[in-house]
A and B are shown apart, each in its own frame.
Chain A
Amino acid sequence: MQNHDEIPVESEAESTAFNIDYEADDDWSNYKDSDVMQQQSAIFEQDAAKFPFVGDKEPLSSLEAEYKSGSPILLEKIKVLSEQYSAIRRTRGDGNCFFRSFMFSYLEHILESQDQAEVERVKTNVEKCRKTLQDLGYADFTFEDFFSLFLEQLESVLQGNDASISHDELIVRSRDQSVSDYVVMFFRFVTSGEIRKRSEFFEPFILGLSNTTVEQFCKTSVEPMGEESDHVHITALCDALGVPIRVVYLDRSSCDKDGGVSVNHHDFVPTPSDGAAASTSETGSEPNPFIVLLYRPGHYDIMYKK
């Protein structure tokens, strides 16, 4: 009944099909994109061997040493910083540094404070984010693995259950790609969902940043790993999870106040979308975020208050 000669996809062996054994020779035109990508990931791996996703806690003097022969303004600013901050923890500059810094800083805070109420609060928000993604039409299986891995980490930093982990183990996990990247991706999903849910609010900021639509921005600048974060990402993540974030800016701008050098910072405080988070953010007149990140143009690291 069926005449095989007529069948279209069987043409593998014929001249019209691609030759699978095709070998790239020295001609540049024969280099495949996948070769380029492989080379690129090989370079990343080389860098990776040099510095872990999350570094060790270092005294602020190590930051000073970095700029020893650099700009006097920066040295002056580091001096100002050292009045308030005692240590820095560096993260790898792989485009995920904001999310990675946030991840470690947040989990470390929970581990040290054992703040059950905060965990319950953030869990409620995580479930809201799940709902947001579902409403936006994301298939559950595309994001649920990332959600459950984050919730697992959250559970494990709380002490007194079977899954509890030590501070050392938290560091090990944060350096383990299969945990660390999954949590980073979880934050990317949460951020993207928040931006798309409130696209009217974010649209003007995104237009100013990249001149694309909200959807395009999320697809190209939020969801892919390695895409750097800007204030849009930070605002969205902060709002979605209801976690305030302080960003301290270390750059060469001289912001003179009364003749001296001061260091700019910006507090990202969650805006309650439905009143639920209102109680936490309106209690104090001075917000005091427990997550503090140091921003140097193009990179975020974790800061420790004195």
Chain B
Amino acid sequence: MKVGAQVRKKVWDKAKVLGENESIVKTLGNDEKSTVLPSDLLFIPFDCTPELGMGCDELGGRMDGRRRYEEHNKLHQMQASRARLFKEYKEVQREKVADPDIQLVCDDSNIFKWTALIKGPSETPYEGGVFQLAFSVPEQYPLQPPQVRFLTKIFHPNVHFKTGEICLDILKNAWSPAWTLQSVCRAIIALMAHPEPDSPLNCDSGNLLRSGDVRGFQSMAKMYTRLAAMPKKG
């Protein structure tokens, strides 16, 4: 094993340990825990309609027709998205081994909030770094895309330097339910390896690449990877 790879593995193991301590990644590296579902996952079946007494009647006494209908609609969508996220949760547990570059974890108490740790792809300035992503899943999921942003600072043309917002078509108008939280992570790793400087959110970074200063871009990106996404040298 190359020294670099060893270091990376160490970093990754550290990240896992941290995850446990932080209760972000509760299910990582602990097979017993991984079978325990977050309490919020006790989902309502998709076909459970408000008529069965779980819906808008409880939500507020007398509503006029339109509001009633909207509440019904909202409830229905939430059940659908919850059921879907539950399936993704089970899939994530299964894929953990298959995709070692991605650690996707659902919030303990809210299935609409997820966190991911992704490894910077090799042969890029992000190599060796571990980046944290925050997912916020809308009630209309999977018809609507999840909102994803970097929590770890990253110097990349398509990531907002201040907010961590990501410019990626599949998170916007090219979203479809065929994508999953897991495959979104894969797409973000691919974006890290193949930046698109022509539609930059980080103009400084985009301009470096557009002017052909690959070396300048790489050294900046590498510096921020070291500062923000790697353990500090003791």
Is the CB–CB distance between A8 and B11 below 8 Å?
yes
Residues of chain B with a CB closer than 8 A to A4's CB: 18, 21
Interface hub of B73, B165, B180, B228 (most chain A Cβ within 10 A): B228
Any A CB within 8 A of the CB of B91: yes
Shortest Cβ distance from residue B223 to the other chain A in the assembled complex, whole angstroms = 11
- Interface stretch among A100-108, A221-229, A236-244? A221-229
- Given known pairs A18-B153, A181-B143, A226-B173, the reply for A33 and B178 (CB within 8 Å) is no
- Given known pairs A142-B177, A219-B174, the reply for A17 and B143 (CB within 8 Å) is no
Residues of chain A with a CB closer than 8 A to B87's CB: 141
Is the CB–CB distance between A33 and B172 below 8 Å?
yes
Any A CB within 8 A of the CB of B117: yes
Interface residues as binary, A29-40 with B (CB distance below 8 Å gives 1, 0 otherwise): 010111001000
Closest to A7 in B: B18
Any A CB within 8 A of the CB of B17: yes
Closest to A1 in B: B17
Interface residues as binary, B149-161 with A (CB distance below 8 Å gives 1, 0 otherwise): 1111100000010
Q: CB within 8 A of A18: which of B88, B151, B201?
A: B151
Any A CB within 8 A of the CB of B147: yes
Any B CB within 8 A of the CB of A188: yes
CA distance A35 to B87 in the complex (A): 29
Shortest Cβ distance from residue A145 to the other chain B in the assembled complex, whole angstroms = 6
Is the CB–CB distance between A138 and B14 below 8 Å?
no
Is the CB–CB distance between A225 and B176 below 8 Å?
yes
CA distance A145 to B178 in the complex (A): 11
Give the contacts of A135-190 with B (CB-CB under 8 A): 138-139, 141-143, 145-146, 176-178, 181-182, 185, 188-189
- Given known pairs A18-B162, A33-B167, A177-B73, the reply for A185 and B228 (CB within 8 Å) is no
Residues of chain B with a CB closer than 8 A to A37's CB: 172
CA distance A183 to B153 in the complex (A): 40
Residues of chain B with a CB closer than 8 A to A46's CB: none
Question: Size class of B's contact patch?
Answer: 35 or more
Is the CB–CB distance between A178 and B163 below 8 Å?
no
CA distance A7 to B172 in the complex (A): 32
Shortest Cβ distance from residue B139 to the other chain A in the assembled complex, whole angstroms = 10
Closest to B76 in A: A178
Any B CB within 8 A of the CB of A28: no
Q: CB within 8 A of B46: which of A2, A145, A177?
A: A145
Is the CB–CB distance between A18 and B229 below 8 Å?
no
Is the CB–CB distance between B18 and A143 below 8 Å?
no
Residues of chain B with a CB closer than 8 A to A201's CB: none
Any A CB within 8 A of the CB of B42: no
Is the CB–CB distance between B227 and A16 below 8 Å?
yes
Residues of chain A with a CB closer than 8 A to B234's CB: 3, 5-6
CA distance A33 to B173 in the complex (A): 11
Residues of chain B with a CB closer than 8 A to A139's CB: 91, 180
Any A CB within 8 A of the CB of B43: no
Give the contacts of B102-129 with A (CB-CB under 8 A): 117, 129
- Given known pairs A8-B130, A8-B229, A181-B143, the reply for A220 and B172 (CB within 8 Å) is no
- Given known pairs A5-B232, A8-B230, the reply for A143 and B77 (CB within 8 Å) is no
CA distance A143 to B170 in the complex (A): 17
Closest to B83 in A: A145
Is the CB–CB distance between B178 and A32 below 8 Å?
no
Give the contacts of B60-110 with A (CB-CB under 8 A): 73, 76-77, 80, 83-84, 87-88, 91
Residues of chain B with a CB closer than 8 A to A219's CB: 170, 174, 176, 178
Q: CB within 8 A of B22: which of A10, A16, A226?
A: A10
Interface hub of A2, A6, A185 (most chain B Cβ within 10 A): A6
Is the CB–CB distance between A146 and B177 below 8 Å?
yes
Shortest Cβ distance from residue A54 to the other chain B in the assembled complex, whole angstroms = 15
Any A CB within 8 A of the CB of B132: yes
Interface hub of B73, B143, B173, B178 (most chain A Cβ within 10 A): B178
Residues of chain B with a CB closer than 8 A to A2's CB: 14, 17-18, 21
27 contacts between A and B (CB under 8 A): A2-B17, A5-B234, A6-B231, A7-B17, A8-B11, A8-B130, A8-B228, A8-B229, A8-B231, A9-B151, A11-B153, A16-B153, A16-B224, A16-B228, A17-B151, A17-B228, A18-B163, A33-B167, A33-B201, A141-B91, A143-B177, A177-B73, A178-B77, A185-B177, A219-B170, A224-B173, A225-B176
For the complex with contacts A9-B22, A142-B177, A182-B80, 13 further pairs of A-B residues with Cβ separation under 8 Å are: A7-B18, A8-B11, A8-B129, A8-B152, A9-B117, A17-B228, A33-B172, A33-B201, A141-B88, A145-B80, A145-B84, A188-B176, A219-B174
B residues apposed to A, CB below 8 Å: 11, 14-15, 17-19, 21-22, 46, 73, 76-77, 80, 83-84, 87-88, 91, 117, 129-130, 132, 142-143, 147, 149-153, 160, 162-165, 167, 169-170, 172-180, 201, 224, 227-232, 234
